[in-house]
Every structure is written in structure tokens, then in C-alpha cells.
Structure 1
């Protein structure tokens, strides 16, 4: 399944992996941390049965959002939340071609950094996360899976590391993706992508 997904995205090109941010400014709190500051992945110790995600909470950057479910566009690229209406423009979405958060493999959640119409969006401060920050995902089975940020990176959209983001891994991982870097006014999009890599460290049920 993951091998097929990786091939599909590779064939679709960089456009399948970018978000259509249309604002004029990017994250201001911090640049992504260098690789030397990253933590080792947490390993395969926390893996839970699949259940769809419904909510994302990242207290370090004040993100608290319901999760949309995203699929593929007709051209094979990954859907992104709509920028046309609220609250969708300010919500993150889980790509349902990836594992559910807490299951084995890299679960993928996407969100916009901002938009010309609505201003800063859900992942405006995503680049400010640092290794050790916690990310919580609530699921339909009533459980909450907590992830620890391993590293944060910025990549040019034409050099997106498809295998590293979508490829097989030996633990329950999470990828948070948005736009970043310099804003290209002519193209009305950002030149880079921000990717947060995280690993599951605990799972439990709420009261």
C-alpha cells in the first residue's frame, strides 16, 4: 500500500505535495530547526489499531482544529482544505491514503499557512515547532495518540523528499505539512514546504 502510494505521488510530481497558499506572508516565529537539533524517532513501541482522526491539538503553537478527511484529486494529486470558505480554510485535514494516526507508518496531515482572503491559517506557526514538542490527535474510537516532534524541515517544492515523507517506516509516525519560505507573488504561492516529522509516544482514552 505505501509502496504504491509512494510511486503514485512520485509520478504525480511536486505538485501533489504542495499546498496552494495564496497569502503574502509566511511563518514569523521561527525558521525550521537544523537537522543537528532533531531527535531520534521514538521507535515502534507505540502502535495502535487503526481509527480515523477527528481532531488535532498542538498546544505549543495554539493549534486546536477539527480534522477534515482529504483524498485524491482527479489528476492524482493530494487534496488540500478549501481556501474558499470558512471554517474549512482554517482547518487541517488528514490524507486518507496514509495510515491513521497511531497505526504503523507515516500518517499525513496537511493545512494552509495563510490565504489572501482570510489571513493566517491553521499552520501559520508550524515552522516554530521544535524537537520535543507534543502533538495530540483524537480519533473516532475515543482514543488520543500523542506524538513527539522529531524534527522540522523546509524543502523547495521542486525537491520534495517523497520517500522520506510518505515511505515505509518502522513506527507510528506523523507528518504535518504546509507551505513556507519565500512567497512568489507572480506565481501566488510559496516556494517551499514545511514538514514536521513526529513519532507516537503514548496513546490512551479520554474520560
Structure 2
């Protein structure tokens, strides 16, 4: 299992537990797979390949960082996401825990890392489906650059992020530092499973949305 660094909190963080593809496995590919990011939604070739993949790639000006505050809810209006957030830790095996799969409208954030809105890279993860149908991030692969993600925080503020890129990676080539690396501004990664689907092993990779803070309400 690979080691991954999340803003100085080190653990073997993987989201493969999100990726069983349970709905497609039980109902067949004819049920319709989730959307996947197109090449047009990837970070530009001139983007930095260092810790912050989205730094310098977004056209929306970055907003000033907020003080730490746990998040309570995530909203992505363009793909009809409006879901509560639970805290996620690491399992005994050292992987990132996941929300209960039966709760289809629930996402989680890595609570030992950066809170959304403060300087650094905050991580949110959620299931794409379960055995009964689509889950909270089923349409995440269809999210396009320039769309907004809103995170309601416990201090009463709403951190507004603008999407810089949406990419899909095979699990064996997952770019740990690009996704989880530290950032010098407030950034957000929203992750679910995606990529090639196999009825034997489920989804073979992850969809990752890169966004940065552009407003506060």
C-alpha cells in the first residue's frame, strides 16, 4: 500500500473502498456508468506538476484564507449535490475510512488534515454508488472547470471554491503528491471512484476534482 502525505499528516490514504461499483455489478453496465472527465477538463499542460496541481491554472482570483473550522455540508449546484459531511479518519489498516455505503447522500472529509477554507489542501471523499443505485458523487466526473463548490462550515461561513480541473487516474498511476500535496493557498480535492470498470474488480481508478477558494459568504 502506498504512503501519501496530507499537509504533514502522513498515512496510507487510499479511496479504493469507494470503488466497488456495486450498482453496476448487480445490474449490469446497461444501467449506465457514471460520467468521466473529458480531456478538456484536465489541468493545462503549463500547470505546475508540484504539490499544488491547481495553483496558477484557475482564472478566478483566489480569496484570502479562513481560520480553521470543521465543515458540515457540501453543495455542488451544477451536479445537484447537497449533502452533509462527516469526519473521516484512517482505518486500522491505514487507509482513509469512507462514509457508510448505505447512506447515499453523505460525503466525508479527512478531519486530521486541512479544514476546507484554510490554507492547505482539504480532502472530501464520497461513494459513486452502492448496490441499490447512484450515491452522492455519481455525477462528479461530469463537473466542469469554472463551476463552484460550496462548503458550509461550523463557524457559519460558506467557503466557495471554483473548479480548476477534473481528472481521472488509474489506481496504479495515482499521483499522490499532485492530489494530496501541501498548498500555499486554500484548495479542495473532491474524490470518488471512476475510470475503467470491471465486473470482477469494480472501478479501476479515481475521479479527482481540483478547486481553490474564490469567495466567502
Q: TM-score range by the shorter chain?
A: 0.7 to 0.9
Aligned to 2:100, which of 82, 87, 94? 82
* Conservation of the 8 A alpha-carbon contact between 1:146 and 1:203: yes
Give the TM-score, by structure 1 length. 0.85
Helix, strand or coil: the match of 1:164?
A: helix
The alignment status of 1:26 with 2:33, answered yes or no, reads: yes
Aligned residues: 193
Q: Which runs of 5+ in 2 are unaligned?
A: 25-31, 46-53
Helix, strand or coil: the match of 2:172?
A: helix
Q: RMSD of aligned C-alpha atoms?
A: 2.2
Shift of 1:160: 1.0
* Conservation of the 8 A alpha-carbon contact between 2:37 and 2:167: no
Could you say which residue in structure 2 is the equivalent of 1:100?
A: 115
Helix, strand or coil: the match of 2:108?
A: strand
Could you say which residue in structure 2 is the equivalent of 1:202?
A: 215
Partner Cα distance (1:153, 1:28) in 2: 12
Name which of structure 1's ranges 46-55 and 89-98 shifts more when overlaid on structure 2: 89-98
Q: Deviations over 1:155-204 (max 9, x none)?
A: 001111111111111110000000112221112x2011000000000112
Deviation >6 Å, runs of 4+ = none
Aligned to 1:40, which of 30, 53, 57? 57
The alignment status of 1:156 with 2:170, answered yes or no, reads: yes
Name which of structure 1's ranges 144-153 and 41-50 shifts more when overlaid on structure 2: 41-50
Q: Deviations over 1:95-146 (max 9, x none)?
A: 1122000011110000111112x20111011011111000000011010000
Matches within 5 A, 1:12-23: 16-18=14-16, 19-21=18-20, 22-23=22-23
Could you say which residue in structure 2 is the equivalent of 1:115?
A: 130
Partner Cα distance (1:193, 1:29) in 2: 10
* Conservation of the 8 A alpha-carbon contact between 2:37 and 2:142: yes
Q: Deviations over 1:56-108 (max 9, x none)?
A: 0100000000111111101110001111x3xx233111111220000111100
Name which of structure 1's ranges 16-25 and 195-204 shifts more when overlaid on structure 2: 16-25
Partner Cα distance (2:6, 2:191) in 1: 18
Aligned to 1:55, which of 73, 76, 101? 73
Helix, strand or coil: the match of 1:165?
A: helix
Q: Which runs of 5+ in 1 are unaligned?
A: none
